Chain A
Amino acid sequence: MNRIELISLLPVLVLASGIMVLMLQTASRRSEHLSRWICLLTLILSLAAQLWHYPDAAQPITRLLAFEPVGAFFGILVLVAGVSVTLIQGPYAAKQREPAEEFYLLLLCSCLGALLLTLASHVGTVILSLELMSLPFLAMMAYNRQRTDALEAAFKYLILSGAASSLLLMGFALLYVTGGTLELAHILPEQPGLLARAGLVLVMAALAFKLSLVPLHIWTADVYQGANLSATLLLTSVSKAAAFALLIKLMLATPPVFARDLYLMLSLMAIASMLLGNWLALLQNSIKRLMAYSAIAHMGYALVAAIVATQSGHRLVVEGAAYYLLAYLIASILIFGILALLSDLGADADKDDIHDVKGLFWQHPWLAVGLSLAFLSLAGMPITVGFIGKFYLLTLAVKSELWWLIAAMLLGSAVGLYYYLRVIFSLYAEGKKGETAVTGNHTSRGWLGLMAAVLLLLGILPGLLGDRLGLLLLSS
């Protein structure tokens, strides 16, 4: 391990040492405030390290990790999501009775896992980091133990993600049997037998679980609804971004023989996700549940990019997927962040019902505008970043002539518009008279404002990031 490798690992090292500092701080003197700032500082330092030393070419770090541009971009997404959750959590959890410091510890552990997953180049790292990412979720989901829904959600996630992990292990085992190597880049043999194919399919199934793609989407709604808002945000941002990084990596390493098999399977999965996700969300009243179904649909959209990756040139594909996930992430942060400002972790349930936010505009216009922007972005309306993301994907799909996928995308978007607009209309409807209490300090509000600004800015001037993104990811 030489100096360059250490520098490349800096974000990870910062996170890891941050965890230790946080543990020591908690052990010596409990202070929610201090813990939050340590957590925030760690994440920001890590983010800074990631940005400062952005890789321009793939560079292995031992046999377990590889530092490369695509993964690094998803790493940035992970860290941004982590920062958002940290900022939201403070006011959100102010009134709950559990010890507050451990949440940040769990959060950092989870981020560490996700970051390692984006760096992983070896099956061992993949499995370790996947579990390191997922296990803290369980505790964070049920952080308020008085909420029975949350306990139920955590338990469901434990069982189901355990099942998915077993699929992953089985898949990698089958691949190892045929290929005899555990390095991701070479794990797929050039002349695959049926066993290797089955192994790949199982791995894909496990990733589909993490990304909540049909047909392994079934857990999403219950878990999202039960878990508290911070955990849901983590689940929808950190977990998805990291899993997607892995998926893209596998896709880019797929030999052409596999590509034919995968193409049909993933196409069907994407189509089913886009349609079913949107259809299921149609009349949802719980915004968290709605976001769960919309996550299914959005991951379906993002999968389109991965499908194109099996077909043709790589650069635009990665760019498209990255932009789409970025758009999705920003909108999710805004939505869950604003809901967290309205809710209280100490209460029995979050205020995520569509009737809870009815007429929000007349009480808290800025929050309502932020929520509307985020939903519009998810719906892919122009001048928001979501539009640009969808535009990328559509361009890619049209270039590769994937007409069925395009049809499903358009149909799904049309259905999606209905339920997004339903929420937005409810925001501006004549609401209840009672004042909805809002928590939140200047930092968290400022952060959400920044997210909204970025959402608009990247929507209006997509070139601002698009060109850079292209350059960043080009070298892969």
Chain B
Amino acid sequence: MALAWAELWPILLYFLFTLTLLAGVMLLSSVLGPKNKGHSTDLPYESGILSYGGARVRFGNHFFLYAIFFVIFDMEVLFLFAWAISLKESGWMGFIEALVFILVLLVALVYLWRIGALRVKAEERS
């Protein structure tokens, strides 16, 4: 136990610090914050519109898909960038590897394009 203590005290300290910080913030805000009691205080989304309908609604997600595609291809450009700045050092081997990488990306792009994931309007997608 003593050994554990010797090794672990920074972590414990960290935990304690976090706990006190959080507790302090919440305590302070409850002490210092104004306490108004209106008729809409207990309603959800006090600052926006009232919720209506069920939560299980289906909504189009193709913008979300766009975002995802963007992130993915963006990340992959990152790799290409890393290769580009070390083009000379990585030599032909690196060139072939990058070529394979780009090829894979291309295939993925063709796939996405052909299955219609890139079309904006929902009704155009079969």
- Contact between A20 and B104, CB atoms less than 8 A apart: yes
- Taking the closest CB of chain A, its distance from the CB of B83, in whole angstroms, is 15
B interface residues, how many (CB within 8 angstroms)? 14
Q: List, in ascending order, chain A residues with CB within 8 A of B55's CB.
A: none
Q: List, in ascending order, chain B residues with CB within 8 A of A194's CB.
A: 3-4, 7-8
Which residues of B from 1 to 21 have beta carbons under 8 Å from A? 3-4, 7-8
- Contact between A24 and B7, CB atoms less than 8 A apart: no
Query: Which residue of A1, A27, A193, A195 is within 8 Å of B111 (Cβ)?
Result: A27
Q: List, in ascending order, chain A residues with CB within 8 A of B103's CB.
A: 20
- Contact between A195 and B7, CB atoms less than 8 A apart: yes
Query: Which residue of A1, A27, A193, A195 is within 8 Å of B110 (Cβ)?
Result: A27
Given the known interface contacts A1-B93, A20-B107, the answer about A27 and B7 at a Cβ–Cβ threshold of 8 Å is no
Main secondary structure of the interface of A (DSSP, over half): helix
Q: How does the 8 Å CB contact mask read for B72-103 relative to A, with 1 for contact and 0 for none? A: 00000000000000000000010000000001
- Taking the closest CB of chain B, its distance from the CB of A349, in whole angstroms, is 20
Which residues of A from 49 to 70 have beta carbons under 8 Å from B? none
- Contact between A27 and B4, CB atoms less than 8 A apart: no
Q: Which residue of A is nearest B93, CB measured? A: A1
- Taking the closest CB of chain A, its distance from the CB of B25, in whole angstroms, is 25
Q: How many A-B residue pairs have CB under 8 A?
A: 26
How distant is the Cα of A150 from the Cα of B70 in the complex, in angstroms?
A: 29
Q: Which of B3, B4, B108, B111 has the most CB of A within 10 A?
A: B111
Q: Which residue of A is nearest B103, CB measured? A: A20
- Taking the closest CB of chain A, its distance from the CB of B91, in whole angstroms, is 12
Interface check B66, CB cutoff 8 A: no
How distant is the Cα of A20 from the Cα of B101 in the complex, in angstroms?
A: 12
Q: Which residue of A is nearest B113, CB measured? A: A27
Q: List, in ascending order, chain A residues with CB within 8 A of B4's CB.
A: 194
Q: Which residue of A is nearest B100, CB measured? A: A16
- Taking the closest CB of chain A, its distance from the CB of B79, in whole angstroms, is 13
How distant is the Cα of A194 from the Cα of B9 in the complex, in angstroms?
A: 12
Q: List, in ascending order, chain B residues with CB within 8 A of A23's CB.
A: 107-108, 110-111
Q: List, in ascending order, chain A residues with CB within 8 A of B114's CB.
A: 26-28
Which residues of A from 12 to 43 have beta carbons under 8 Å from B? 20, 23-24, 26-28
Q: List, in ascending order, chain B residues with CB within 8 A of A27's CB.
A: 110-111, 113-115
Q: List, in ascending order, chain A residues with CB within 8 A of B7's CB.
A: 193-195
Given the known interface contacts A1-B93, A194-B3, the answer about A24 and B107 at a Cβ–Cβ threshold of 8 Å is yes
Q: Which residue of B is nearest A27, CB measured? A: B114
- Taking the closest CB of chain B, its distance from the CB of A201, in whole angstroms, is 13
- Taking the closest CB of chain A, its distance from the CB of B23, in whole angstroms, is 24
Q: List, in ascending order, chain A residues with CB within 8 A of B8's CB.
A: 194
How distant is the Cα of A94 from the Cα of B8 in the complex, in angstroms?
A: 58
Which residues of A from 220 to 249 have beta carbons under 8 Å from B? none
Which residues of chain B have a CB within 8 Å of any CB of chain A? 3-4, 7-8, 93, 103-104, 107-108, 110-111, 113-115
Beyond A27-B110, A27-B114: 11 further Cβ-contacts under 8 Å?
A: A1-B93, A20-B104, A23-B108, A23-B110, A23-B111, A26-B111, A26-B114, A193-B7, A194-B3, A194-B4, A194-B8
Q: Please name 26 pairs of A and B residues whose Cβ atoms are closer than 8 Å in the assembled complex, sorted by A.
A: A1-B93, A20-B103, A20-B104, A20-B107, A23-B107, A23-B108, A23-B110, A23-B111, A24-B107, A24-B110, A24-B111, A26-B111, A26-B114, A26-B115, A27-B110, A27-B111, A27-B113, A27-B114, A27-B115, A28-B114, A193-B7, A194-B3, A194-B4, A194-B7, A194-B8, A195-B7
Q: Which 5 A-B pairs have the closest CB atoms?
A: A27-B114, A23-B111, A194-B7, A27-B111, A20-B107
